[in-house]
Structure 1
Amino acid sequence: MSWIKKARLLIAPSLPQCLFCGKRGRPSSGLPGICVSCHTGIPWIRCPRCQTCGRHVGCPDCSRSREPVPIRCNRSAVAYTSEMRELLGQYKYRGNERLAPILGLMLDKAYTILQQEQSEQQIATLQSNSSRRPFSAAKPNYSLIHPALWQADLLVPVPVSSARLAERGFNQAEQLADVLSLRRGIPQLPLLIRTRHTGKQSFKSRSERLADMKQVFAGNTEQKLLQRLGGHLESIAARLQNRPLQIIIIDDIYTTGSTMRACAEALHRLIGDLGYAAEIYSLTWARS
């Protein structure tokens, strides 16, 4: 190597270390903290094949199940490949909390997809309703001319048990919800509690997971929390005159949907007891 190249290496700024692969490389502009190579390799779910659970491949679970589903739909940011499993392991099990902001930004991609889908459905509904009404130049339908983007009213993280919280030191769903809450201006409230500890779901079959999650979650009736919820509901009362409360449950991974179903059922009961109707969605960082 010539002395000129050596000199350039000495004075050139060193490339940052990627939080995903640990190597030094050109930083990504879209996801701060990771290199361009890792960003390029992310298995985004841009066009979910299953419109119910957001899976990127064929989904026999949703097509064969005839049970009513308490959530409108789930959307996930990435497919749960071996690389994404390793990444989640670094964060969730090995305590690398520096990954939380990046995973939260990735989750925001799933919110964008959900928002676009729901906004398109709103416009279609407005157009359908408008076509049934006589045209009035004096009272044009401005909501149809300038439709507002769909926006959730509330984020609710999936709670972890006290044993799991002591083991990890943090709730990964809560940290992901924090990032989304700050980016989107949507309040986050811990409206759910775990009534009992369950073993790791990754080692269980679909039927075992469904049975294991029965009655695991309940509404959080802590008085100060309900007061905060009441204040929020009052602040958006005008919106809720024409539609239900729109809630998104947040978690790190969607596998069978048993956790989301159990959480949604508990939320429906809690919101119903307060005299409101709820429309519940879920967002997860990964879909297995």
Structure 2
Amino acid sequence: MRSLTSWMKQARSLISPSQPECLFCGRRGRPSPEWPEICLHCQSSIPWIRVPRCQTCGRHVGCPDCSRSHGPIPIRCNRSAVAYTSEMREILGQYKYRGNERLAPLLGLMLDRAYALLQQEQSGQQLNEALQSNFFSKPFPIRHSKLRMRSNLWQADLLVPVPVSAVRLSERGFNQAERLAEVVSLRRGIPQLPLLVRTHHTAKQSFKSRRERLADMKHAFAGNTDSAVLQSLKEHLDSRATHQLEQRPPQIIIVDDIYTTGSTIRACAEALQQLCRSQNCLAEIYSLTWARS
């Protein structure tokens, strides 16, 4: 005869709904209020990068790469959502290599936090510049309308995902950077344009040295010269010039899944600058990645 305890357990499981399965660990547990797709335990263990230690590449620890680099850096800065721990590597692997596309919206929302950090930093910088400009300008008092206009939240003009080769696209069936950029684009109202193309397929970079990666990526990207893409870029730049009260260079963000040595971002930024120059435009380029190693 079944015990009373066993019977009550079964009755309780029928009455109360089962807890959802966590997209990160795969176990059932109490969902996070902020991120209902994952459990509270996984949410609490996300290694967010809240205060980047390196202001250039967004690294959360000491950065020898930026300190020893003497050449010009083609981006203003990089910001990443999380540190690339073993747990984050496993999650990215589930999405990127094992085809768990249910993770795409969640990873995109995580990337959006990196955008919020970048936006906060650039807005603060804009406000400081406005205050300094008004402090030294004449006549006094401060021109309040100009200050209000310049202290609005900073907003990027375009998102550009890092393209993958035809081989990688065939293997995975999707471009992970494009999917991540799509989430930020929809949330922030920033257009996404495929301004870059991959010129040749490169082998996996994970087992290569920093020098090998830089050499491998040097000519891996080029500006997209498709007439429809260039027309879209021209229309966007023309519209921007018409409606923008204060002139500043276009703010373009390159989007990728992970920043390791910066070789991919650097190569993309250089190709993007060449494309912009061909359109008589000099852009300010940033990058956003889901993870920073």
Q: What's the TM-score bracket when you normalise by the shorter of the two chains?
A: over 0.9
The 3-state SS of whatever aligns with 2:273 is: helix
Q: Which amino acid aligns with 2:221?
A: F
Cα deviation code 1:76-110 (max 9, x no counterpart): 00000000000000000001111000000000010
Q: How does 1:174-253 map to 2 (within 5 A)?
A: 174-237=178-241, 238-239=243-244, 242-253=247-258
Label 1:253 to 1:32 Cα distance change in 2 as closer, same or farther (>3 A). Answer: same
- 1:141 aligned onto 2:144: yes
Aligned residue among 38, 42, 45 for 1:41: 45
What's the CA shift string for 1:21-50, capped at 9, x where partnerless?
A: 001111122223111111111000000000
Alignment match, 1:54: 58
Q: 2:78: which partner in 1?
A: 74
User: Would you say the 8 A contact 2:134–2:143 is kept in 1?
Assistant: no
**TM-score normalised to the size of structure 2?**
0.95
Displacement of 1:240 after TM fit? Answer: 8.2
Which TM-score applies when normalising by structure 1? Answer: 0.96
Distance 1:195 1:152 in 2: 26
**Quick one: percent identity of the two aligned structures?**
69
* Number of equivalenced pairs: 287
Distance in 2 of aligned mates of 1:52 and 1:260: 12
In structure 1, stretches of 5+ residues that fail to align are: none
Please name the residue that 2:163 is paired with: 159
Provide the C-alpha distance between the structure 1 equivalents of 2:286 and 2:245, rounded to a whole number of angstroms: 17
Is 1:108 paired with 2:112? yes
Q: For residues 34 and 285 of structure 2, what CA distance do their matches in structure 1 show?
A: 29
Q: Distance in 2 between matches of 1:39 and 1:124?
A: 35
Letter in 2 for 1:205: S
Structure 2 CA distance for aligned equivalents of residues 188 and 15 of structure 1? 37
Name the aligned partner's letter for residue 133 of structure 1: S
**Contact 1:27 1:35 survives alignment (8 Å):** yes
**Structure 2 Cα separation of the partners of residues 91 and 144 of structure 1:** 44
* 1:249-288 equivalence runs, <5 A: 249-288=254-293
State the distance in 2 between where 1:123 and 1:258 align: 32
Q: Is the 8 A contact 2:273 2:283 kept in 1?
A: yes
Once residues 280 and 245 of structure 1 are traced to their aligned partners in structure 2, the CA distance between those partners, rounded to angstroms, is 8
Cα distance, 1:135 vs structure 2: 4.2
Aligned-partner Cα distance in 1 for 2:231–2:36 = 37
CA displacement at 1:282 relative to structure 2: 0.2
